[in-house]
């Protein structure tokens, strides 16, 4: 049997943090061992909110270098920029004609903007550009262009996948042909929420993130800033309600977790010690990847070459899909 196709898009929005690594990068790379995988950098998606050309360029390289340093093998995974596959935008135009405006009105991202505007007493569509409004159509094109079976995404993106299903069905129904594969969202239930330095979910909007490739000194500093309670050294401590331990679990083996939990419960271990343990574990996992990341960031022409190769492969598949569609539509 042919392997199923897994595809996911990565928005270039700055240096990934520990939460991104465990929540998205690591699980996606694990999936890529068993599926035909296509991972791409959704650069045109960023344009809706990011209009600084230097910054956009920087983010694209950062995110590419990050995934490569974390173990993405471009020989096994098709790795490309959305902008490098212009067929995406032709497909967007095609499926626009099968995407109802009502569907877009219901999109969470757009609705959230409207709600925010109302709260502030602004008109509904204040600061809403058409790129944001039609974001789900572009995302559907990303997915439908490659006969995608599965899309690993966070819960917040499930609605977008459902929209891609609706759009695919509308088009297939009209031409009475299975032209577009119906994609399914793949939401991993067990990805625990990764806590940030203040105990809340690690998120840029809470300003509590630990950048995955923070230089060693900065990493140590950030670990030392993790909020703990005010128990003193002698007191027995509860590992399960402690952010330091919660983060430690991500990096340590079962045995190591058990050992540290026992030291917590026994008392006599201060927060400084726990943080030092966490730092050592984090750093030993991250260090080789950080070095690779820095190497790659110092050789952007190499990143460029890898992405171009991925784009050439992706375009071949994409061009074939567009050919089929044009024929079906009557524009060929």
Residues at the site binding ligand TRP, with contacts judged by CB under 6 A: 7-9, 11, 42, 45, 139, 142-143, 151, 153, 157
Shortest Å distance, C-beta 217 to ligand TRP: 31
DSSP label of 39: E
Q: Which is nearer to ligand TRP, 187 or 306 (CB)?
A: 187
C-alpha closest to that of 285 among 255, 248, 245:
248
- Nearest approach in angstroms of CB 293 to ligand TRP is 21
DSSP 8-state symbol, 4: P
**Identity of the residue, 9 or 239, whose beta carbon is nearer to ligand TRP in the bound complex:** 9
Residue placing its CB nearer to ligand TRP in the complex, 96 or 227:
96
116 vs 221 by CB, closer to ligand TRP: 116
- If DSSP codes are grouped into helix, strand and coil, which group holds residue 123? coil
Closer residue to ligand TRP, CB minimum distance, 64 or 139: 139
Neighbouring residues of 118: CB distance < 8 A, sequence distance ≥ 6:
124
The CB-of-49 to ligand TRP minimum distance in angstroms stands at: 11
Contacts of 140 (CB under 8 A, 6+ apart): 95, 99, 160, 163, 164, 167, 168
As measured in angstroms, the least distance from the Cβ of 261 to ligand TRP is 34
Going by C-alpha positions, the residue among 160, 206, 209, 207 that lies closest to residue 183 is 160
Give min distance, CB of 40 to ligand TRP, in A: 8
By Cβ distance, which residue is nearest to ligand TRP? 9
Q: Which of 140, 36, 138, 45 is nearest to 78 (CA)?
A: 36
Place of tokens 């330091």: 244
3-state secondary structure 306-325: HHHHHHHHHHHHHHHHHHHH
Based on the number of CB atoms within 10 Å of its own CB, is 54 exposed (0-12), middle (13-18) or buried (19 or more)? exposed
Q: Is 153 helix (H, G, I), strand (E, B) or coil?
A: coil
Compute the least distance from the CB of residue 112 to ligand TRP, in Å: 13
Residue 22: CB minimum distance to ligand TRP, A? 16
Please list the alpha-helical segments (H only) found in 225-267: 243-251, 254-266
- Which residues, 6 or more positions from 320, have their beta carbon under 8 angstroms from its beta carbon? none
Tokens of 36: 């035909």
Residue number, 106 or 265, with CB nearest to ligand TRP: 106
Expressed in percent and rounded to 5, the helix, strand and coil fractions of the chain are 60, 10, 35
Helix axes 216-224, 271-297, angle to 10 degrees: 150
Q: Work out how close the CB of 157 gets to ligand TRP at its nearest, in angstroms, rounded to a whole number.
A: 5
């Amino acid at each position: 049997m042919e392997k199923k196709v897994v595809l996911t898009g990565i928005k270039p929005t700055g240096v990934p943090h520990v939460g991104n690594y465990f929540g998205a990068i690591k699980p996606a790379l694990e999936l890529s061992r068993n599926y035909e995988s296509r991972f791409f950098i959704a650069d045109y998606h960023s344009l809706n909110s990011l209009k600084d050309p230097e910054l956009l360029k920087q983010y694209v390289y950062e995110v590419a270098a990050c995934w490569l340093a974390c173990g993405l093998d471009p020989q096994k995974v098709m790795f490309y920029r959305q902008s490098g596959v212009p067929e995406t935008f032709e497909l967007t135009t095609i499926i626009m004609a099968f995407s109802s405006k009502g569907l877009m009105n219901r999109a969470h991202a757009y609705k959230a903007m409207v709600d925010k505007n109302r709260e502030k007493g602004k008109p509904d569509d204040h600061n809403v550009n058409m790129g944001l409004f039609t974001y789900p159509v572009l995302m559907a094109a990303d997915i439908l262009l490659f006969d995608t079976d599965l899309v690993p995404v966070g819960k917040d993106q499930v609605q977008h996948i459902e929209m891609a299903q609706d759009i695919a069905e509308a088009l297939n129904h009209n031409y009475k042909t299975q032209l577009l594969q119906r994609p399914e969202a793949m939401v991993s239930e067990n990805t625990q929420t990764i806590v940030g330095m203040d105990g809340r979910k690690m998120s840029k909007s809470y300003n509590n993130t630990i950048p995955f490739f923070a230089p060693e000194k900065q990493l140590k500093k950030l670990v030392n800033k993790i909020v703990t309670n005010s128990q003193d050294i002698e007191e027995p401590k509860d590992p399960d309600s402690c952010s330091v331990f919660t983060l430690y679990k991500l990096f340590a083996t079962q045995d190591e977790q058990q050992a540290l939990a026992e030291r917590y419960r026994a008392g006599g271990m201060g927060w400084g010690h726990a943080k030092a343990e966490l730092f050592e574990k984090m750093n030993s996992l991250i260090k080789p990847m950080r070095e690779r990341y820095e190497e790659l960031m110092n050789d952007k022409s190499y990143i460029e070459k890898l992405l171009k190769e991925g784009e050439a492969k992706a375009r071949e598949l994409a061009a074939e899909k567009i050919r089929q569609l044009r024929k079906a539509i009557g524009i060929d």
